[in-house]
Structure 1
Amino acid sequence: MSECQQITYDHIPNRQVACVDMMSFYASCMASLHNLDVCKVPVAVVGNLQQKGSVVLAASPAMKKQFRIKTGNRLYEIPKHPEIRLFEPKMAYFLEMSMAITRILHKYVPAESIHVYSVDESFIDLTGTEKLWGDPAQTVREIQREIYDTLSLPSTAGMGPNMLMAKLALDVEAKKTGFAKWTFADVPVKLWPVSPLSEMWGIGRRTEKSLNDMGIFSIGDLAHANLQSLEKKFGVMGNQLYHHAWGIDLSRVGAPVSGGQVSYGKSQILMRDYNTMAEVRVVMLEMCEDVAKRARDARKAGRTISLGIGYSKNVHGGGFQRSRTIAEATNETMKIYAVCKELLSENYDNRPVRQISLSITKLEDEQSIQLSLFEKDNWRSREIGQVMDSIRNRYGSTAILRAISLTDAGTAIKRSDLVGGHKG
């Protein structure tokens, strides 16, 4: 590691960007619906109250503090206590509340200055609104007050000269204080001490390990690393990591995403442990059907197929994520399923499974698919798939099912009336 050149911010855009995040959004929505104070009442939103192994989707601050129950716990881990309030999710209501938040943001900035990052988190660019609303930091606090007064949803907010700094101010400081504003001058004092590296927005566990292997353990280490070494190790991402460590982010709020969708995927936490490969294959086929249909609807096909398996906490968790690239792009259910079966057979160690995820990437336009002359009835299977899709699009996802969905292991029927994987 060598000492880097000191970066100056003279020519770096310095905007007024805020990241507004709803506090324990699902729990806050349910508390608001039932006239409860989410900051005082222990509230948990659970996927299905009839399933003891169902996942906690959200927990209020009081639930986390008093009972140490947080997102990811299971229903059976929640103690019996008269003050605890449990609710099943109402996904349609959550989406309605999310849209109500966005409508409030529209009162303060135009649509092109809003980026809805997730159902409960948005970026807004207040640059140039000073003549309308005054100090942007005070405007953000006013937005937080209006959201709370109108919807009874508490929030936290971070501000910075760009999206990255606003998000870091939120994650590192504002989630403890309610509001924080960072400037480039705060980078050495507030950003560089951040460790482990995965606490930094945009750095995952795998990247963290690679950086640790280079002797980089804090954001300050990253900022003073040799840029050429980072670029050699990570390519373009190495350059981005380096500049992010200095708080530099040139992306703009509201800028269109280039390139369109880069993958089609699905992930499912199972309602019970699946103990055999045969059971796992049932859900895997249903998921392949869903992913393939979405790709076909978009006239896309993929060459790389990925399968992820998460083992039950009862056997100490863990799992695997594997990918395989095939010679020709596909959006046929059974071809995707065949690759997933291979990946499962090669890597599954017979432990109980609790989560399955799969995706197709390296997408191409469907027109690029060449029908092999050596595959008998290849055209017929594609035509059958299109007919099945049209029936489902018109009459619903359960209008036509594979027989495996009628077995005990099938989940397609139970999940057909869910919104975002949960009850509407």
Structure 2
Amino acid sequence: MYGNAPNRSVFCIDMRSFYASCMAHLHNLDVMEVPIAIIANFQQKGSVVLAASPPMKKRFNIKTGARLYEIPRHPDIRLFEPKMELFVRFSMEITRLLNQYVPKEAIHVYSVDESFVDLTGTEKLWGPPEEIAKKIQYRIYEQFEIPSAIGMGPNMLMAKLALDLEAKKTDFAKWTYEDVPTKLWPVSPLSEMWGIGKRTERSLNHMGIFSVKDLAHADLKTLEERFGILGNQLYYHAWGIDHSTIGAPIMQGQISYGKGQMLMRDYRTRDEILAVILEMCEDVARRARDANMIGRTITLGLNYSKDAFGGGFQRARTIHEPTNDTMKIYEVCVELFDEFYGERPARQLSVSITNLESEHSMQLSLFDDQKWRRRKLGRVMDQIRAKYGSTAILRAVSYTEAGTAISRDGLLGGHKK
């Protein structure tokens, strides 16, 4: 099974309580001693907690995703609004530190607070990979006062699993292929394993697969018939095998363009919700056009308000002809919305396009003489926004009470710079 499997020295590092640690560093506080919470917007009582320090979680049971009104009044608690430019700057400086030990090609920045590093071949420069990983961990804390957790493995997947399933509790963990039966196979429910979401978990459960061991011993052909290429990936990932390289997506074929948004109030009508969805489609389509990509599969996600007992849906539809046209994407989203919406207040929305290919492969239809015109119009709108700002030209819905594009202008990652 492991004869041709990669056997490199890869680690995945996660900056623990990253946002809270950055703010603690800025204000000369100890993130491990002071209860700190990062609040999306002080003006909204229902604003979400973006990050919380360990004391905030332990002493007051306030975790990421809690609401501002849930935080008790206490003199020890320190609340801050996010400074995304600061967080990004910290992330870039940490990446520069990593670059002191390996070339840029050996670093894959997975998110603002998480990166993969391939130490293979650095032994003669720095010594055993496990020792240098721990040295990097120490240097990050010494320089930035940001604690971290590191998972090491023979490939990116195993490093990520070691991080998520063990190192986040112990600060450091190294997994080898020999550890798969004892550390990976017992994992259940399946959604506890990185790369398996709730929907995939339910589908696997219906096939009688409830643990990673069940998945590793399932019939590969049956998985491929049910899930396509994802079935093949699921099977080999259950054995800890991953052929992805640093700089490439961990799950090949999973590149997408998407946008998620937490609404600052309950949106209760179809028109209000669709107004925001249209704005999001515009943003997703623009990013796809910038990359010269088009997609066939459009996904709409909607979470209901907690006041409506939560829940929601996430549904996808694959169209015959790939697109990056805002209105084409929006039309599919409207279809999905009308089909699955339960007429309850919405609080969170997401839109994405996947199943991508190069825009140059797009064929002009003999039956749609407006396609070229819409394509040029989209490009012109993108150029105007690039030159004069994202709000230089907007659709009419953005000027309604439901629109969010104007209020979100100037935010970075959806939060204040």
Matched, 1:155 2:139: no
2:33 matched to 1:40? yes
> Take 1:364 and 1:135, find their aligned partners in 2: how far apart are those partners?
41
Structure 2: gaps spanning 5 or more residues: none
Question: Please, which of 257, 274, 278 is the counterpart of residue 264 of structure 1?
Answer: 257
**Which residue is 2:233 aligned to?**
240
Match status 1:337 vs 2:330: yes
Work out the CA distance in 1 between the residues paired with 2:330 and 2:38. Answer: 33
- The equivalent of 2:13 in structure 1 is 20
Structure 1 residue 258, shift from structure 2 partner: 11
RMSD between aligned residues: 2.4
CA distance in 2, matches of 1:280, 1:327: 26
1:247-286 matched pairs, under 5 angstroms: 247-255=240-248, 262-286=255-279
Question: 3-state SS of the aligned residue for 1:44?
Answer: strand
Residue pair 2:156, 2:242 contacting (<8 A) in 1 also: yes
Q: Is the 8 A contact 1:18 1:140 kept in 2?
A: yes
Q: Looking at CA atoms only, which structure, 1 or 2, has the larger radius of gyration?
A: 1
Query: In the TM superposition, what whole-angstrom CA distance separates every residue of 1:43-64 from its partner, at most 9, and x where no partner exists?
Result: 1111111111111111111111
> What TM-score does the superposition give when structure 1 sets the normalisation length?
0.90
CA distance, structure 2, for counterparts of residue 336 and residue 288 of structure 1: 6
Secondary structure of 2:110's aligned partner: strand
Looking at structure 1, the residues matched to 367 and 199 of structure 2 have their Cα atoms a distance apart, in angstroms, of: 42
Structure 2 residue identity aligned to 1:196 = P
Q: 1 CA distance for matches of 2:319 and 2:5?
A: 43
- Matches of 2:301 and 2:249 in 1, distance apart? 30
**Alpha-carbon distance in structure 2 between the residues aligned to 1:284 and 1:333:** 11
Q: 2:115 aligns with which of 100, 122, 141?
A: 122
Cα deviation for residue 160 of structure 1 reads 1.6
Conserved in 1, the CA contact under 8 Å of 2:300 and 2:316? yes
Report whether the alignment pairs 1:230 with 2:223: yes
- CA, structure 1 residues 197+408, in 2 after alignment: closer, same or farther (shift >3 Å)? same
Q: Distance in 2 between matches of 1:201 and 1:261?
A: 14
The 3 A distance-change label for structure 1 pair 269 and 225 is: same
Shift of 1:380: 4.5
Query: Conserved in 1, the CA contact under 8 Å of 2:244 and 2:250?
Result: no
Q: Superposition pairs for residues 69-84 of structure 1, below 5 Å?
A: 69-84=62-77
CA distance in 2, matches of 1:241, 1:261: 13
Aligned in 2, Cα 1:217/1:53: closer, same or farther, shift over 3 Å?
same
**Paired residues, what number?**
416
Of 17, 22, 46 in structure 2, the residue corresponding to residue 29 of structure 1 is: 22
Cα distance, 1:365 vs structure 2: 4.4
- Asked whether 1:370 is paired with 2:387, we answer no
Secondary structure of 1:139's partner? helix
Unaligned segments of structure 1, at least 5 residues: 1-6
Q: 1:391 aligns with which of 369, 373, 384?
A: 384
Contact 1:17 1:124 in 2 (8 A): yes
Paired with 1:234 and 1:194, the residues of 2 have a C-alpha distance of 21
- Partner residue of 1:3? none
* Secondary structure, aligned partner of 1:422: coil
Aligned residue for 1:103?
A: 96
SS at match of 2:41: coil
Q: Distance in 2 between matches of 1:11 and 1:303?
A: 34
Q: Specify the code of the residue in structure 2 equivalent to 1:204.
A: G
Closer, same or farther: CA 165–277 of 1 in aligned 2, 3 Å? same
Fraction of identical pairs, as percent:
67
Give the TM-score normalised by the residue count of structure 2: 0.92
Alignment partner, residue 311 of structure 1? 304
Aligned to 2:172: 179
Q: Tell me the distance in 2 between the aligned counterparts of 1:309 and 1:256.
A: 26
Q: For 1:392, what is the secondary structure of its paired residue?
A: helix
The separation in 1 between residues aligned to 2:254 and 2:287, in whole angstroms, is 11
Distance verdict in 2 for CA 1:374–1:391, change over 3 Å: closer
